[in-house]
Structure 1
């Protein structure tokens, strides 16, 4: 295999995924904010809330369309650049994606049309149901995609079939209820809610600075600050749960995130700051907090977290076990029928089959893992260490931004409660300039999750180097360049349309104002 093809295929998928993920968080968050705003409109009859729903709905629609366009390419890449991956795990990985398209995306896409064109054709309650259907569909779509992604991180409910040479589902319920997938889902959608809240706060702050659409801006900021504070707090709590599960299922990822080269006595210290060096295999100028990592990652004082060096040694043992499984697999396939399979080969595969993926790490260097030398095994074991500096810094910047969002949304929540949103212009400017920060945090989260899984496409089952298609590097490079150009144009178009809609502002709404709640509550609102 041409290694350039592997690197370029990984880069292409990373580029398209990162571009696509620029649109996903805003779709998730804005859909729920729209439903909240329209609920207030239906309850109070105040036209300003209908106007708010329509205005932010326009921005949601622009983002939704471009997000769909960039997302379609993602699924085609599995067959195009990762053909062996699709063959090996397609029965499992494809099921959640198919369900997502049939159950969630069709629901969302259908009701998006009704949301935009049904204002004067549906009753208030009917249109409100439509808006909530859009929000539920958007989030339900994320659920199934993250079930698929969660299985890549923690492949439960499946088994390898030596006759078909494929992974097959043994327990679909286990795939759906995968704890890693569920933690990723709630963490990801909460991050989307934060993104939408900061976006609404920033745009509304710009209106207040310009003295335009003041009533709409203040109400939007009140909703966004409340929603954003709750979401920011949940991101931290749910991120802690995700980290706990990572410690249990992806020990190398947690060790690389913490640049923890050697195993420490429990409970391990947390490194606040430092400079990890893969060459020296140590972290220079480390500032550490005793016990903190052990308490966060294991929720105990006596559970040990293995370091990178110990995990590499453990990987060597699993590679040797995997070679035994690989040899037994060749005998099983050569037998041709169950009756002719040597009992020793069957037993050897049953005993060592769970480590078959580790033997496949050697396929990057030689065709037959059984011919691997000790040096080859040590080299493949070292490949199980992801890029430590990238993970170390990505995680810390992401966490730092997460705590900033809590303080930021709490500040605006207090200002909205005291009706002082327009009193502090520096804070309003901060809100405007803070708009890109949730996207940066979300992209860093993607880097932590996906780079931290390397060298695996399916954790412990299928190495990335074995999953790639046998394409020429020139072919992949050409399509990579094409995607970069097209996606950059789409991003530019979306930003231009967004800025145009924001400059234009909300349109006047001539719908009659009706009160559906007692006048005292309307006055308080």
Structure 2
């Protein structure tokens, strides 16, 4: 084990942990805005209750996402200084815009939304949550544009004197075809998570409090969340199909590794299960669906999909001696786990809608157990999706331009990286406990009572007034 291995583990752990909060924040910001819009248009108090209820869960998650996200950019300079030096001119523009425009847009308007209840005009208050939601999605786009440059470098040139990548076309970076398909795919995955959370919390209250006066409110939340989950699942599948075709064009080794395809095939079969040799050089056993991989990769059932061994020979000739294949079992199984966990959440959503047919309310405890697990499924799917995306690009940190081993900080020792890795892991574990307990606590509390609070006697000292988490 050396500093490079630990630096990769640290970045992987902190990134996956941070992304547990990102999709929920993205999805919930829009869903809360939709719920408040419904209240604004109809005046129905159940929408106001749900807005404040899920809005509180959104704020808890947003705060945790900000805290964990700060570490990500610091790591570029801490452990990956050579990488930062190479891509700094490219990454500077989208990340600066994300911080100065998108992040400040969402953080400013979230503040107005929190403290603007009963203080701002209703339309202006509604606009503030929509502005925050738009800012959240803009943040995602600029970050994904930066990441897409690592997958498919465009709009740049390498200065032969400095050895740095220099930005030549900012529009090309923002309109990178990888970014254009990755963004809707990521947003669909975010709504998959947010819809699942709506369902899980609503189901818990429906099953545990059958005779509650708020049962109709929770029934609406469960159905609304289920429909969001199903539509998001369809969006994930459609954008994922497009993404697969683009990936085959710009990163054919990643597609070959995802399918355990060792030899070039035309037509190519989709692998349901492939067992390869220990050295990852050949296939030992496989269950396949004919023609499907050719269609997924090229749009043509008889299209050619290049295999790992042929691509390895091509890259060795093009870039020099070395192993240019990622870790096959990681890419192969992370790709399948991503699909399986995401579709499992959609199946539960379909079951929830079935139990709500003809005005019924679910009381099955097995459905409740499935519902409580439901938000975890798309979270795990998102994590495996990013593991596949980043591990499938290896050994490149910037595809075709810089190898991962060349991007690590040369002045950072193994002991220093191991110390920071251990510290971050322990801090993040503590934050995970705090996040979970806060979400569970306020989710169990249920929708708020909108009955006006009694007047407070101003003659009492302010110190005697109770404190509460409210907005």
Shorter-chain TM range is over 0.9
Aligned to 2:277: 277
Residue in 1 that maps onto 2:313: 313
Q: Aligned partners of 1:406, 1:463: CA distance in 2, in Å?
A: 38
Contact 1:263 1:310 in 2 (8 A): yes
TM-score normalised by structure 1 residue count: 0.83
- Structure-2 residue corresponding to 1:374: none
Q: CA deviation at 1:428?
A: 3.1
Matched, 1:504 2:417: no
Name the CA shift for 1:239/1:21 in 2 (closer, same or farther; >3 Å): same
Q: What residue in structure 2 maps to residue 67 of structure 1?
A: 65
- List aligned pairs for 1:281-430, cutoff 5 A: 281-320=281-320, 377=321, 380=322, 382=323, 384-416=324-356, 418-422=358-362, 424-430=364-370
Say if 2:133 is the partner of 1:147.
Answer: no
User: Cα distance, 1:416 vs. partner?
Assistant: 4.1
- Mapped to 2, the partners of 1:246 and 1:421 lie a distance apart of 44
* SS of equivalent to 2:360: coil
- 2 CA distance for matches of 1:35 and 1:416? 25
CA distance in 2, matches of 1:462, 1:511: 62
Would you say the 8 A contact 1:194–1:232 is kept in 2?
yes
Shift of 1:511: 6.3
Instruction: State the 1:430 CA deviation.
Output: 1.4
Q: Which has the larger radius of gyration?
A: 1
User: How many corresponding residue pairs?
Assistant: 449
Q: SS in structure 2 opposite 1:192?
A: helix
TM-score scaled by structure 2? 0.92
| Alignment match, 1:494 | 435
Partner of 1:479: 420
Partner SS, residue 418 of structure 1: helix
| Corresponding residue number in structure 2 for 1:352 | none
2:458 pairs with 1:457: no
Q: What is the CA–CA distance in structure 1 between the aligned matches of 2:446 and 2:233, rounded to whole Å?
A: 27
Contact (CA 8 Å) 2:345, 2:375: kept in 1 or not? no
Q: Give 2:456's aligned residue.
A: none
CA distance in 1, matches of 2:262, 2:417: 35
Which residues of structure 2 form unaligned runs of 5+? 454-471
Say whether the 8 Å CA contact 1:278–1:388 is kept in structure 2: no
Give, in angstroms, the shift of residue 405 of structure 1.
3.0
Show structure 1 runs of 5+ residues with no match: 321-376, 513-525
Q: Structure 2 CA distance, aligned partners of 1:111 and 1:425? A: 40
**Counterpart of 1:22 in 2: which secondary structure?**
coil
d(CA) in 1 for partners of 2:188 and 2:7? 30
Question: In 1, are the aligned partners of 2:144 and 2:183 still within 8 Å (CA)?
Answer: yes
Q: CA deviation at 1:221?
A: 1.1
CA shift, 1:278, in A, is 4.0
Give the aligned partner of residue 462 of structure 2. none
